[in-house]
Amino acid sequence: MTISSLIDTPSELTDSTSSKSAIVLMTRVRLARNLAGFSFPGWAKAAQREEILGICRAAVTATPQLKRCFNVTIGELTELEKQILVERHLISRELSGAKAGAAVVISKDQAFSVMMNEEDHLRIQVLRAGFQLKKAWNAIDDFDSAIEGSLDFAFSPTLGYLTACPTNLGTGMRASAMMHLPALMISNQMEKVVRAVNQLGMVVRGLFGEGSDASGSIFQISNQTTLGESEDEIIKRLSSVLQSIVEHEMNARAKLLEADAGKLLDKVGRAYGILQNSHLLSSNEAMNLLSLIRLGIDLGVFPDGNRSVIDRLFIEAQPGHLQHARKGQFEPSQRDVLRAERLRSEFANFARPDFNLTPNGKN
Amino acid sequence: MANPLKCDLCSKPATVHLTQIVNNKVHKVDLCESCAQAKGVTDPSGFSLADLLLKASLNPEETAGGMRCENCGFTQNDFKKHGRFGCPLCYEAFRSIVEPMLESMHNGTAHTGKVPHRALERKSLYDRLTKLELDLNEAIKSERYEDAARARDEISQVKQAFNAKIPD
């Protein structure tokens, strides 16, 4: 498989269309695993990194989940290809900058991806569209148990799975949800939410993880601690936090409509106009406009089936994807022109807004 | 600084203080800026080394108590620098610094989640096998043939269990 075919293949993230993903775009679970008897990737010598990679790759590609897969070392990828994989949440920025002896294996539907010799020997990720933490956990649990048949994981009865960084000890599990929270942003409640979520032992980050901003009103919420609770307990706790954020967002939407529906619909309508007609769009502006269209879909201004178009554009409006679509022949200064061009053509055929619907939100 | 140090070479006020340890002996040099430059001490790469030596010598307790993982050679200073460990066995070697850290970092200090049963079982069988093979060799060497026979029987039993657990 090549990067192009990966982008063109329908994926879990970009092509699932259901109203269940209205506020929670996707859920992810990742597990950190290491082989006993080897140094962690950051400390291992080059030859040992290769040895680790060989062992892990053999075990991972022998699983049915990854029978048909995209399987490359980081060295084989161009800068652009790495950026595309980062934008699709399939590899981390850390892996894209890794030295020799690092690799990634990605399933055809991009639901599974396994990074090798990133911070840990193995970083397994399962991605599911919508609010499906439990399903994602079950899928990754099965996968992990399967590769355990041939891999000796570094494990301590008291500390659990041993990881390069002590913050991942224990379960080695990070479960997260990507949430679209425009009404909480518009009504300036995000700060309050972030503080409350932190107090519950969960972390809030922007779309692209640590240090990224909240463009498009998209946030990632994940568990902070990995030791002292079982995977099920962590998932349950995170789920209830997510559920209450969903409720807050729904309430915020209802309040905005109640206070001044015209003001909210004006934002949606203007976003539509700009996306159809603009000639210069920065990444940040594009994300925020798309976010408003997505809110419009949730409110019934646009048909439900268009949500997946927006979710795909959230990704395809990123610089790497734009450059790929243009086959590499453009300069960074042209990026905003290209982005506007791309979105204009998408929105030329997009459903017209219907503001006559009684926008009660879709409960 | 009531009593400013003077340059060892020209007795102007010293602003560069170099400490080097050569053959376990501490050498201190105080220099003024111009002498330091003339001697090449302010060369960035050379200077950072000096700085490092200085810090190490100023804090003898830390170097003495500096732990090290015998398995992979990772040191306490490496951990301070990277915030990550060198290998799984580091958690044993640095147990005394890990334990207090975990309390503030996590929701508990003991793992209660998933356990890789198959991997652990395989490891314990493997360890048992290794030990039995050693026993067998010992017994043969010292001509304790009854012990050797017993070890051999046990080895075949363990191997059977091993193969039953792991079909490949």
Tokens of A164: 């390069």
Looking at the DSSP bridge assignments, the partners of residue B6 are B13
Residues of chain A with CATH 3.30.590.10: 3-170
Q: Residue A191: what residue type?
A: E
> How confident is the prediction for chain A on average, in pLDDT?
90
Give the integer Cα–Cα distance in Å for B84 and B145: 50
**B77 plus B52 within the same structural domain:** yes
Side-chain half-sphere exposure of A1, counting CA atoms within 13 A: 20
Task: Based on the fold, state whether residues B93 and B107 are members of the same structural domain.
Answer: yes
* Residue whose C-alpha is closest to residue A25's, from A173, A141, A181, A174: A181
Is A361 a residue whose pLDDT tops 50? Answer: no
> How confident is the model over A96-101, as a mean pLDDT?
88
pLDDT at A268: 96
pLDDT in tens, A273-310: 999 999 999 989 999 999 999 999 999 999 988 998 99
Section A81-89 average pLDDT: 93
Q: What are phi and psi of B92, to 5 degrees?
A: -75, -50
> ∠A235-A202-A24 over CA atoms, to 5°?
65
Residue of A nearest to B112 (CA): A230
Which residues in chain A have their CB less than 8 angstroms from residue B88's CB?
A: 34, 36-37, 40, 154, 156, 162
Contacts of B113 in chain A (CB under 8 A): 160, 170-171, 173, 229-231
Give the chain A residue nearest B79 (alpha carbons): A165
- For CA atoms B35, B40, B43, B49, the dihedral sign is negative
For position B45, what pLDDT does the model report?
38
Does position B77 have pLDDT exceeding 60, yes or no? yes
- Write the CA distances from A158 to B77, B80, B92, B114, integer angstroms: 25, 24, 11, 12
Say if CB A117 and CB A96 are below 8 A apart: no
Please give the pLDDT value at position A215: 84
Q: Which of B84, B98, B123 to mutate to test the interface with A (most CBs of A within 10 A)?
A: B84
Do residue B88 and residue A225 have CB atoms under 8 angstroms apart?
no
pLDDT for the residue numbered A22: 87
- Could you tell me the CA-to-CA distances from A242 to A183, A188, A296 in Å, in that order? 16, 19, 22
Query: What's the pLDDT at B168?
Result: 43
pLDDT tens, residue by residue, A40-83: 999 999 999 999 999 999 999 999 999 889 999 999 999 999 99
Residue of A nearest to B121 (CA): A152
pLDDT digits 0-9 by tens, A173-209: 999 999 999 999 999 999 899 999 998 889 998 866 6
The DSSP element (H or E) to which A286 belongs, if any, is helix A283-299
Which segment of A3-17, A143-157, B90-104 scores lowest on mean pLDDT? A3-17
Tens of pLDDT, residues B16-70 = 776 655 455 566 777 777 777 666 555 443 444 444 444 444 444 444 457 899 9
Q: Residue B149 pLDDT more than 70?
A: yes
What is the reported pLDDT for B44?
Answer: 40
Domain of residue B149 covers 117-165
Are residues B133 and B143 both part of a single domain? yes
The whole-number pLDDT of residue B11 equals 75
Q: Cβ of A144: how many Cβ atoms within 10 Å?
A: 21
Output the pLDDT for position B39. 61
The sheet that has A103-107: what strands, in order across it? A69-73, A103-107, A112-116, A122-129, A24-33, A173-180, A218-223, A202-205
Q: Which residues of A touch B82 (CB under 8 A)?
A: 42
Tens of pLDDT, residue by residue over A133-143, are 999 999 999 99
Other beta carbons less than 10 A from residue A204's beta carbon: 19
Number of domains chain B contains: 3
B84 closest CB neighbour out of A37, A119, A170: A119
Contact: B72, A228; criterion CB under 8 Å: no
Report the residue of chain A nearest B166, measured CA to CA: A149
Q: Does B107 share its domain with B52?
A: yes
Residues B54, B95 within the same domain: yes
A112 vs B59, higher pLDDT: A112
Average pLDDT of the residues in A23-28: 94
The contacts of residue A31 (CB under 8 Å, 6+ apart) are A122, A123, A124, A140, A144, A161, A171, A172, A173
Residues B96 and B126 in one domain: no
Q: Same domain for B122 and B160?
A: yes
> In A, which residues are within 8 Å of B168 by CB distance?
150
Domain A3-170 sits in CATH at: 3.30.590.10
Answer yes or no: do B101 and B137 share one domain: no
**Do A165 and B85 count as a contact with CB atoms less than 8 A apart?**
yes
Answer yes or no: is pLDDT of A332 > 80: no
pLDDT of residue B53: 45
Q: Report the CATH number at residue B13.
A: 3.30.60
Same domain for B59 and B102? yes
Q: What is the ipTM of this complex?
A: 0.84
